[in-house]
């Protein structure tokens, strides 16, 4: 396993070294083809050699999982010390780069990934001067619908992925780890899991931390509701992306996992009366909407897009929340994939952000065994029974409407891009 983990990065490393030496396009193409052939041979050998226990690392323990992740980074850091100049991500691990920040400041900015983003906290303490110089282009209504759909909606030197719980998180996380390595961009999955919403003062600090990091290209991933940089009077906003999945699958997984985390780690975001229940049992004891509420450890998708400008109204099931969510999606989200079409999602990412996602599909197809490409933790779902689903349906109407809206939009983007390809 160790050798497998270290040989994947070494291929990326060779690719990067060569592509930085030879700027000539034709050479690059030749080298690329050589590398692809090499990859195919390598994968063939790996599939032959390695038994299929890649997904069997038990990661039920959330905090243990985090430590594992960090250890893994540390490990590859030691194996490939020469790579660290190229991969910005690794610079974080150099202890002497960590700024000495007082405990008091850390507490005050506990909602910011200070170390990972390598933020100068003095800057955060300075008074924020709103910008009057807006650099934000909203899609004009008379532009062609294709260009509206495929526009880069923000400055792509920072990508914000406001991850929704239980939407292929593990599959996407591993992929991002690999592509960030391949393309030398910084990928920071936030270590802050809750809350998803913040007041305006805190949001300004978060937004500042994301506009003043020292990285050339950053993909920042965090469970946080959408927030509008222009409403906070920033002159630019980053590119937003996301990934959603069929609501009933997401809810089944969220219900179970919140209880699992509570039982195993005592990090409980659920009503402890329902801690041992399945969703089927819960709807027999309580009204259905209670079982799928935030208080019971099941998050909603709509507020992730409706956002924090109208924070309270966005928490309600309302036509307002749905409408605002759709509007934010149209204005600010360059792409929102659907887990059910994950491969197509990668295709769209490759086309729209080649500097981040080129070869993403190749990597995806080759990092796991061919029987199951997605992470087990993302697909091992026991759906509730038909009666429960029927009971929940009326309460999921808006979630489904938004999901279908996103799905249509995504499939349109996919179709246009494939047509342009042919």
Ligand X SMILES: *[C@@H]1O[C@H](CO)[C@@H](O)[C@H](O)[C@H]1NC(C)=O
Query: What residues between 316 and 355 interact with ligand X by CB under 6 A?
Result: none
DSSP label at 82?
G
Which of 100, 140 has the CB closer to ligand X? 100
Q: How far is the CB of 73 from ligand X (least distance, A)?
A: 8
The window from 39-47, 65-73, 319-327, 403-411 that contacts ligand X (CB under 6 A) reads 65-73
Compute the distance between CA of residue 218 and CA of residue 161 in angstroms, rounded to an integer: 11
Compute the distance between CA of residue 157 and CA of residue 169 in angstroms, rounded to an integer: 22
Q: How far is the CB of 150 from ligand X (least distance, A)?
A: 17
Residue at token pair 């790996």: 46
> Binding of ligand X at residue 3 (CB under 6 A)?
no
Which of 278, 334 has the CB closer to ligand X? 278
> Binding of ligand X at residue 313 (CB under 6 A)?
no
Which of 71, 106 has the CB closer to ligand X? 71
Query: What residues between 138 and 157 interact with ligand X by CB under 6 A?
Result: 155, 157
Site map (CB under 6 A) of ligand X, residues 370-399, x = contact: ------------x-----------------
> Binding of ligand X at residue 231 (CB under 6 A)?
yes
> Binding of ligand X at residue 264 (CB under 6 A)?
yes
Q: Quick one: which of 276, 312, 421, 422 contacts ligand X (CB under 6 A)?
A: 276
Which of 110, 418 has the CB closer to ligand X? 110
The window from 137-145, 268-276, 341-349, 392-400 that contacts ligand X (CB under 6 A) reads 268-276
Q: Quick one: which of 37, 47, 50, 67 contacts ligand X (CB under 6 A)?
A: 67
Closest Cα to residue 288, out of 396, 383, 398? 396
Q: Are the C-beta atoms of residues 195 and 253 closer than 8 Å to each other?
A: no
> Binding of ligand X at residue 209 (CB under 6 A)?
no
> Binding of ligand X at residue 56 (CB under 6 A)?
no
Query: What residues between 76 and 105 interact with ligand X by CB under 6 A?
Result: 94, 96-97, 100, 102
Closest Cα to residue 180, out of 151, 154, 215? 215
Please count the other Cβ atoms lying within 10 Å of the Cβ belonging to residue 312. Answer: 8
Q: Quick one: which of 34, 63, 147, 327 contacts ligand X (CB under 6 A)?
A: 63
Q: Is 376 buried (19+), middle (13-18) or exposed (0-12) by CB count in 10 A?
A: middle
Q: How far is the CB of 28 from ligand X (least distance, A)?
A: 25
Q: Is 162 buried (19+), middle (13-18) or exposed (0-12) by CB count in 10 A?
A: buried
Calculate the alpha carbon distances from 406 to 201, 244, 277, 403 in Å: 30, 8, 32, 5
Please count the other Cβ atoms lying within 10 Å of the Cβ belonging to residue 33. Answer: 10
Q: Quick one: which of 171, 309, 366, 413 contacts ligand X (CB under 6 A)?
A: 309
Q: How far is the CB of 238 from ligand X (least distance, A)?
A: 9
Strand order in the sheet with 155-161: 186-189, 218-221, 155-161, 238-244, 333-338
> Binding of ligand X at residue 199 (CB under 6 A)?
yes
Q: Are the C-beta atoms of residues 28 and 198 closer than 8 Å to each other?
A: no
The window from 67-75, 140-148, 164-172, 290-298 that contacts ligand X (CB under 6 A) reads 67-75
Closest Cα to residue 170, out of 384, 372, 332? 372
The window from 66-74, 321-329, 391-399, 401-409 that contacts ligand X (CB under 6 A) reads 66-74
> Binding of ligand X at residue 272 (CB under 6 A)?
yes
Which of 278, 413 has the CB closer to ligand X? 278
Q: Quick one: which of 19, 46, 61, 121 contacts ligand X (CB under 6 A)?
A: 61
Q: Which residues of 264-296 are buried (b: 16+ CB within 10 A; e: fewer)?
A: eeeeebbbeebeebbbbebbeebebebbbbeeb
Largest Cα–Cα distance of the chain, in whole Å? 67
Compute the distance between CA of residue 379 and CA of residue 391 in angstroms, rounded to an integer: 23
Structure tokens at 132: 């009057």
Q: How far is the CB of 15 from ligand X (least distance, A)?
A: 23
Closest Cα to residue 242, out of 393, 397, 407, 400? 407
Q: How far is the CB of 64 from ligand X (least distance, A)?
A: 4
The window from 62-70, 138-146, 240-248, 313-321 that contacts ligand X (CB under 6 A) reads 62-70
Site residues (vs ligand X, CB under 6 A):
60-61, 63-64, 67, 70-71, 74, 94, 96-97, 100, 102, 111, 135, 155, 157, 198-199, 201-202, 231, 233, 256-257, 260, 264-265, 272-273, 275-276, 278, 309, 382
């Amino acid at each position: 396993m160790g050798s497998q983990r270290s040989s994947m990065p070494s291929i990326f490393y060779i690719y990067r070294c060569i592509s930085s030496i030879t700027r000539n396009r034709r050479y690059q193409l030749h080298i690329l083809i050589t590398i692809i052939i090499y990859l195919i041979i390598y994968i063939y050998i790996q599939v032959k050699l390695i038994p299929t226990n890649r997904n069997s690392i038990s990661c039920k323990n959330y905090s243990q999982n985090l430590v594992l992740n960090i250890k893994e980074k540390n490990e590859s850091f030691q194996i490939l010390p020469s790579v660290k100049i190229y991969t910005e991500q690794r610079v974080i691990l150099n202890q002497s780069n960590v700024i000495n920040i007082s405990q008091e400041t850390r507490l005050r900015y506990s909602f910011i990934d200070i170390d990972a983003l390598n933020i100068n906290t003095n800057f955060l303490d300075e008074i924020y001067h709103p910008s009057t110089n807006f650099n934000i282009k909203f899609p004009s209504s008379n532009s062609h619908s294709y260009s509206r759909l495929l526009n880069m909606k923000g400055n792509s030197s920072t990508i914000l992925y406001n991850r929704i719980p239980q939407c292929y998180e593990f599959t996407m996380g591993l992929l991002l780890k690999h592509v960030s390595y391949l393309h030398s961009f910084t990928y920071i999955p936030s270590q802050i899991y809750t809350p998803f919403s913040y007041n305006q003062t805190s949001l300004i600090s978060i937004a500042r931390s994301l506009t003043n990091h020292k990285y050339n290209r950053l993909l920042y991933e965090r469970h946080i509701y959408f927030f509008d940089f222009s409403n906070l009077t920033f002159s630019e906003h980053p590119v937003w992306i996301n990934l959603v999945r069929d609501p009933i699958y997401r809810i089944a997984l969220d219900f179970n996992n919140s209880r699992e985390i509570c039982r195993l780690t005592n990090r409980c975001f659920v009503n402890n009366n329902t801690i041992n229940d399945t969703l089927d049992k819960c709807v027999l004891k309580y009204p259905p909407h209670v079982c799928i509420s935030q208080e019971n450890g099941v998050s909603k998708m709509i507020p992730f897009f409706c956002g924090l400008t109208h924070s309270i109204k966005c928490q309600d099931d309302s036509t307002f929340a749905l409408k605002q969510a759709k509007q934010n999606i149209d204005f600010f989200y360059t792409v929102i994939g659907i887990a059910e079409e994950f491969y197509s999602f990668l295709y769209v990412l490759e086309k729209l952000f080649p500097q981040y996602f080129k070869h993403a599909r190749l990597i995806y197809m080759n990092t796991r065994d061919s029987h199951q490409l997605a992470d087990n933790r993302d697909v091992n779902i026991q759906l509730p029974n038909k009666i429960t689903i029927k009971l929940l349906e009326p309460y999921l109407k808006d979630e489904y409407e938004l999901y279908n809206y996103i799905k249509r939009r995504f499939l349109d983007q996919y179709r246009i891009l494939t047509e342009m390809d042919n």
